[in-house]
Structure 1
Amino acid sequence: MHVQEWLETVPAVAVYALVGVVIGLESLGIPLPGEIILVSSALLASQHGDIDPVVLGACATAGAIIGDSIGYAIGRKGGRPMLAWLGAKFPRHFSEAHIATAERSFQKWGMWAVFFGRFVALLRIFAGPLAGVLRMPYWKFLIANVLGGIVWAGGTTAVIYYVGIVAESWLKRFSWLGLVAAVLIGVTSMLVLKRKAKKAAPEPVAAAD
């Protein structure tokens, strides 16, 4: 079953909670499809009035900020052994090569790596824990974390929601156009066939005197 189809079967409150929890766990360092859940939920909100896009965006933003903050605290306390443990649990995401790439990004860009990391799947998982491991000052991390969470989670929700509304209105418009076109084609075909039938019909023979 598709994610959006499954989300349609659960109440709005469960959708809000699911979005917040999944994005929070992903930001904490657990590889989960947070972006897929958020996009699917925002698209669903554009099609069903039960889901409020503002509440959805707020839950996604809160999950992102809280999850990253917990990840930062765990990374700061656990240090590099924590990254090694994550590498053993999730070798596909926390391989040494991925950790080295993320670490270079943090050393080069600092706060910007946390902010823009929101928009990159790999860095989104690494941002909190790695910032803690590298002992980035918390105030810097917090600013980048809050701004990144608002722009990514809130922005993604808003964009997908309005794109969904526009797409739905266009589909409705096209459905009406299709109906009108079908009627016009049907009427035209009927008139053409009538004219052809009239031409093909034998002329009546005049009665003899």
Structure 2
Amino acid sequence: MLLTAGGGLAGWATDLMASFGAPGAGIIVALENVFPPIPSEVILPLAGFAAGRGEFSVLSAIAWTTGGSVVGAIALYLVGMLAPEHRVRQALSRIPMVHLEDVRRAEAWFDRHGRWAVFLGRMVPGIRSLVSLPAGARRMRWWEFGLLTALGSLIWNTVFVYGGYALGTRWYLVERYSGVFQVVVLVLLVALVAFMLVKRYRRHRERVRVMNAPTEVIERPGR
């Protein structure tokens, strides 16, 4: 796979964006969500580079790629909701560069973190596409899934599109730092979970304190 415009995946993506503009970037990202071997870490900076060349605006690139993310995620959500899990796993195991372990990781991620898995999972490679499947299988509310997917995708897409826009002809360097962004997301997730646990523990202690507090008897003064 070549990571420079003119050949391989990047060449195909460049041609599609040249033909359809920002909607072409949205189409590619939608396909990336359904077909995980297409890396968003390549497509999004390339869309930013195309915006820098004046083919379309940065805002339209972000809007269309985020829309594509939501469309692709909803497609997998429906697959997870309607198809038996063993059939889904069999189908995914035939896709190049997709392993059943990735599917199990996404399922475990969703089971541990629920709605936060959908939001933050959009910013974790290997999880971002596949987390839609357990969300559908567990019948997560569709509007909540769509909203959290849109918000998480908006953050991820904005970072990478603007990265490609800022780097210009060196847009491909953005991919090298995707791991750093992933680590930041995971640190934020750990901090968020710790905060929620501490808050829950404090509420529990407060309830116990109130229940164990001695009942005060108020005597009315005699007339």
Mark yes or no: TM-score above 0.5: yes
Q: Per the alignment, do residues 20 and 8 of structure 1 end up closer, same or farther by CA in structure 2, a change over 3 Å counting?
A: closer
Deviation at 1:91, TM superposition (A): 6.2
Q: How does 1:76-155 map to 2 (within 5 A)?
A: 76-90=81-95, 92-95=97-100, 97-155=101-159
Q: Contact 2:30–2:71 (CA<8 Å) still a contact in 1?
A: yes
- 1: CA distance, partners of 2:14 / 2:73: 28
> Aligned AA for 1:36?
V
Unaligned runs of 5+ in 2: 172-223
> Aligned AA for 1:133?
A
1:173 paired residue number: none
Q: Contact 2:74–2:146 (CA<8 Å) still a contact in 1?
A: yes
2:20 paired residue number: 14
- 2: CA distance, partners of 1:37 / 1:132: 26
Q: Contact 1:12–1:51 (CA<8 Å) still a contact in 2?
A: no
- 1: CA distance, partners of 2:40 / 2:153: 13
Deviation at 1:137, TM superposition (A): 2.4
Instruction: Say whether residues 1:39 and 2:45 are aligned partners.
Output: yes
SS for the counterpart of 1:49 is coil
Q: Answer with 150-159 or 116-125: which moved more.
A: 150-159
The structure whose residues are more often helix, as a share, is 1
Q: Per the alignment, do residues 154 and 139 of structure 1 end up closer, same or farther by CA in structure 2, a change over 3 Å counting?
A: same
Q: Contact 1:28–1:129 (CA<8 Å) still a contact in 2?
A: no
1:182 paired residue number: none
Deviation at 1:18, TM superposition (A): 3.3
- 1: CA distance, partners of 2:148 / 2:56: 29
2:32 paired residue number: 26
Deviation at 1:3, TM superposition (A): 3.8
> Aligned AA for 2:85?
R
Q: Note the alpha carbon deviations across 1:84-117, whole angstroms, 9 max, x for none.
A: 232332264131x222221111111111111111
SS for the counterpart of 1:59 is helix
Instruction: Say whether residues 1:4 and 2:9 are aligned partners.
Output: no
Displacement over 6 Å in runs of 4+: none
- 2: CA distance, partners of 1:93 / 1:70: 18
Unaligned runs of 5+ in 1: 169-209
Q: Contact 2:80–2:136 (CA<8 Å) still a contact in 1?
A: yes
- 2: CA distance, partners of 1:111 / 1:148: 11
Q: Note the alpha carbon deviations across 1:156-177, whole angstroms, 9 max, x for none.
A: 2234323449x89xxxxxxxxx
- 2: CA distance, partners of 1:10 / 1:31: 18
Q: Contact 1:29–1:71 (CA<8 Å) still a contact in 2?
A: no
Q: Contact 2:122–2:156 (CA<8 Å) still a contact in 1?
A: yes
> Aligned AA for 1:109?
H
- 2: CA distance, partners of 1:82 / 1:127: 16
- 1: CA distance, partners of 2:165 / 2:23: 18
SS for the counterpart of 1:35 is helix
Structure 2-normalised TM-score?
0.63
Q: Answer with 9-18 or 141-150: which moved more.
A: 9-18
Aligned-pair RMSD on alpha carbons? Answer: 2.7
Percent identical among aligned pairs is 25
Structure of larger gyration radius: 1
